[in-house]
Amino acid sequence: HTLQFAPQETSAAVLMIGQDMFSFAQFHFHVPAEHTLDRRAFPVELHFVHRNSAGNLAVLGVFIEDGAENAELAALLAAMPAAQGEENAAQLEVDLNALLPADRAYFAYAGSLTTPPCSEGVRWNVLATPIFASRDQIEALTAALGASNREVQPLNTRVLTFGE
């Protein structure tokens, strides 16, 4: 229930958490966002999924809000498969940095996957600053995905930390 992109060239895309290196695997979208910021809900959330050498996962979440058109997102949407279950193998060059805000401050916590089987042990890092997409781009993602999110979960005993 998502739109997933797995660029072929990912060797330079790594996520460092302390001394632990996570290699980029893929990114996908959820409509609406699966996290909130100061109780604010966003229309879309982008997840960059990374895996370390031990097979552990780390996800970098990016909020997307209504604003100016996003050129990188426009190129991705133009290459989107026409129907559910189809795969578009078009060769896309994706500038992952163009899908990230300049401010990389983040909130981190230990959580789980947001899709079944919702396995624990995922290192979540959610950027505090959103990126923008046009209303048309947000509507295109919404039309393609429908409601593809897991509802916001209570914090319970998880510890939330802030990093820059």
The catalytic residue positions are 1
- Cα–Cα dist 38/43, whole Å: 15
Measured in whole angstroms, how far is the alpha carbon of residue 85 from the centre of its chain?
20
Ramachandran sector of residue 16 (left: φ over 0; alpha: ψ -120 to 50; beta: rest): beta
The radius of gyration of the chain's CA atoms, rounded to the nearest angstrom, is 15
- Cα–Cα dist 129/102, whole Å: 8
Answer whether 122's CB lies under 8 Å from 111's CB.
yes
Q: Determine how β-strand 120-127 pairs with β-strand 57-66.
A: parallel
